Amino acid sequence: MRLPFIAANWKMFKTVHESVVFVKELRLLVKDVEEVEIVIAPPFTAIHAAAEAARNTNIGVAGQDVYWERDGAFTGEIAPGMIKEAGAEYVIIGHSERRRLFGETDAIVNRKVVAALAAGLTPIACIGETLEERERNETLAVLDRQIKDGFDQLTAEQMAELVVAYEPVWAIGTGRTATAAQAGEAHAHIRSRLRQWFGADAADRCHVIYGGSVKPDNIRELLVEPDVDGALVGGASLEVKSFADIVSRSRRAAV
């Protein structure tokens, strides 16, 4: 049974103070929402304070990235155990901005996913095609490669715990949302590959969420698609009422 899963990706926005103010407002706005999993991903610096502000609420906290080693001489990197200790339960891995701007490959995504799981974090692992790949009709082949290589060696049980975020790169931060039909097709494909490669139980339990210009006025039509289990929200998650609206509009009978 998959409850709708709604996550806020703040990217490189919000100070510690701003994050705490947001969480304090959000927890009032969503305090009665029981049937939606709610997660916010602040910058590393605000994870601890945001997690403290969210303690004993229905709001979880995520990191936006992580390194795969437990510790060592890796200046500037953050280990999975460090963000967990700071209060994160989830971590975004392989966001298209990490892939495009920082050269992350599927192999790197795989190392990070494995390390995050080993530390007891739930990865929110991002996949999705670029505009050029879509125009060349390569969308499904790109998704296959990202699933196969990015989730290589995971057990069925680990796959079941993962959150997979389908984020078509052309829809991120552009105001251009995939239509419900486009999202539905990609999500159904992802689910069928998970079933084929990890088994029915993993495919049924794994959340596959959509990301790309999600807003309060389009979340409902996306969630009507049976394989769309929620959303990873960038721009529209920076303003607390807009994010709370998306959360409230995601309520539905559990699927």
Nearer to ligand PEP, 142 or 232 (CB): 232
Tokens of 83: 């963000």
Cα 184 to its chain centre, rounded Å, is 17
- What CA–CA distance (Å, rounded) separates 45 from 138? 38
**Residue 34, exposed/middle/buried by CB under 10 A (0-12, 13-18, 19+)?**
exposed
Task: Mark whether 167 is an active-site residue.
Answer: yes
Question: With contact defined as beta carbons under 8 Å apart, do 248 and 32 qualify?
Answer: no
Q: Find the length of the chain.
A: 255
SS3 169: helix
Nearer to ligand PEP, 236 or 247 (CB): 236
- What CA–CA distance (Å, rounded) separates 16 from 49? 7
Restricting to residues 1-30, which ones interact with ligand PEP according to CB under 6 A? 9
CB of 233 to ligand PEP, least distance (A): 5
Q: What is the DSSP letter of 237?
A: G
SS3 245: helix
Tokens of 139: 């969308």
Catalytic residue among 37, 167, 189, 207: 167
Tokens of 198: 């990890």
Q: How many residues of this chain bind ligand PEP (CB under 6 A)?
A: 14
Interface with ligand PEP (CB under 6 A), residue from 42, 63, 212, 230:
212
100 binds ligand PEP per the rule CB under 6 A: no
Restricting to residues 143-202, which ones interact with ligand PEP according to CB under 6 A? 167, 172-173
Task: Mark whether 207 is an active-site residue.
Answer: no
250 binds ligand PEP per the rule CB under 6 A: no
64 binds ligand PEP per the rule CB under 6 A: no
234 binds ligand PEP per the rule CB under 6 A: yes
Q: What angle is formed at CA 2 by the lines to CA 8 and CA 41, rounded to 5 degrees?
A: 15
Stretch that binds ligand PEP, among 135-143, 147-155, 182-190, 228-236 (CB under 6 A): 228-236
Catalytic residue among 95, 187, 189, 207: 95
Q: Which residues are catalytic?
A: 95, 167
Contacts to ligand PEP by CB under 6 A: 9, 95, 167, 172-173, 211-214, 232-236
